Amino acid sequence: MQGGSSGIGYGLKYQARCISDVKADTDHTTFLTGTLTLKEENEVHLIRISSGGTELVCEGLFSHPNEIWDLASCPFDQRIFSTVYFTGESYGAAIWQIPELYGELNSPQLEKITPIGENVGKIKCILWWPSGKHDKLISIDEENLSLWSLDNMPRKAIQILSQESAGMYHFSGGAWDPHDVNAIAATSESSLQFWDLRTMKKTNSIERSRVRNVDYNPKKQYILVTAEDESGVCLWDLRKPKTPIQELSGHTHWSWAVKYNPEYEGLILSSGTNSTVNLWWADEFTSERLVDSPTRANHLNPLLHSYIDYEDSVYGLAWSCREPWIFASLSYDGRVVVESVKPFLSRK
């Protein structure tokens, strides 16, 4: 169940926390990642799996002016992405465009299309709707949830449509519901909150401390997964939100990131500060069978595999949408590892 890395690696020059699948690139399996150094010029790397599948190739290397704390590729344009960055004094965010001639030996610089939320607080993340082209964007900072219009981008700076205060809560991140363009989940210090973007009002909440990450099940409405400091990884059914439908306790320290597979229902990745990536197969049906028949627990162990060949905390996870049996992980020391989970799919 445990094992070292059998994947292919790629090293960044500096420390890093975030990696994103380039979903809009339907011809290649591609990832974007960015570095986190305060004293040096930061970098954005566009990396692809080679045609033979044996190495990771840098297709573009671009300077980024500040350390990158969040990075997300636009799901409908492979040359556009967003970053949240720290200048050393304040946080900011922007949408960038990769130049067309990025494959040239001397790569042109990134084009900054527009800043996001210049006059807001400590911005945490930018959310693109994951289910296709959409004309809106969400930014989450500590104090506010903001909805932006993407009309006329990149010819015109994006415009804020509405904004709502977090009130007594401090937002830390969130996820956009792939089944409902008007619904998002937002994490905070003491709860997981659900918001309606039409009214910009909170519709429900789950009292939960230190939820680090949240992701919706793309194949099944109402189901989501959280990564938490104290409880590890938890599955939730929003129709029965009082308690998690399943708790997955495979991390010995803080669980930091969690991602549902885009194609294989119930397949989940999690990572954390124990320098481990766990591969799970877990859904509400698995948990029901375990409750009904505890003696079958060994046969229904949701942990498929633990990848333990890391030397630092793993903050970044990304499934490939083009090849959904492939994922990329990013540890804080700047090491990208791409793995295939094909050997474990037959065990589901």
- Label each residue of the chain as H, E or C: CEECCCCEEEECCCCEEEEEECCCCCCCCEEEEEECCCCCCEEEEEEEECCCCCCEEEEEEEEECCEEEEEEECCCCCCEEEEEEECCCCEEEEEEECCCCCCCCCCCCCEEEEEECCCCCCEEEEEECCCCCCCEEEEEECCEEEEEECCCCCCCCCEEEEEEECCCCCEEEEEECCCCCCEEEEEECCEEEEEECCCCEEEEEEECCCEEEEEECCCCCCEEEEEECCCEEEEEECCCCCCCCEEECCCCCCEEEEEECCCCCCEEEEEECCCCEEEEECCHHHHHHHHHCHHHCCCCCCEEEEECCCCCCEEEEEECCCCCCEEEEEECCCEEEEEECHHHHCCC
- pLDDT in the model for residue 132: 82
CB atoms within 10 A of CB 198: 11
b/e string for 280-306 if b means 16 or more Cβ within 10 A?
A: bbbbbebbeebeeeeeeeeeeebbbbe
**HSE-CB for 336 with a 13 A CA cutoff:** 31
| Largest interatomic CA distance in the chain | 61
Cβ contact 258:235 at 8 Å: no
- pLDDT in the model for residue 2: 58
- pLDDT in the model for residue 256: 83
- pLDDT in the model for residue 208: 86
Cβ contact 43:34 at 8 Å: yes
b/e string for 113-148 if b means 16 or more Cβ within 10 A?
A: bbebbeebeebbbbbbbbeeeeebbbbbbbbbbbbb
- pLDDT in the model for residue 274: 82
Nearest to 72 by CA among 118, 31, 114: 31
- pLDDT in the model for residue 304: 92
Q: Which two tokens stand for residue 216?
A: 């919706």
- pLDDT in the model for residue 297: 40
Give how many domains the chain has, as a whole number: 1
Angle at 49 between CA 45 and CA 52, to 5 degrees: 150
Structural domain boundaries, residue 258: 2-346
Cβ contact 321:21 at 8 Å: yes
Q: Which two tokens stand for residue 145?
A: 């949830």
- pLDDT in the model for residue 162: 78
Q: Which two tokens stand for residue 48?
A: 């692809």
CA distance 54 to 48: 11
Sign of CA dihedral 100, 102, 105, 109: positive
CATH classification at residue 188: 2.130.10.10
Which parts of the chain sit beneath pLDDT 70? 1-5, 101-108, 119-120, 152-158, 166-168, 230-231, 250-252, 283-300, 347-348
Predicted structure pTM score: 0.90
CA distance 120 to 179: 29
Nearest to 315 by CA among 20, 61, 48: 20
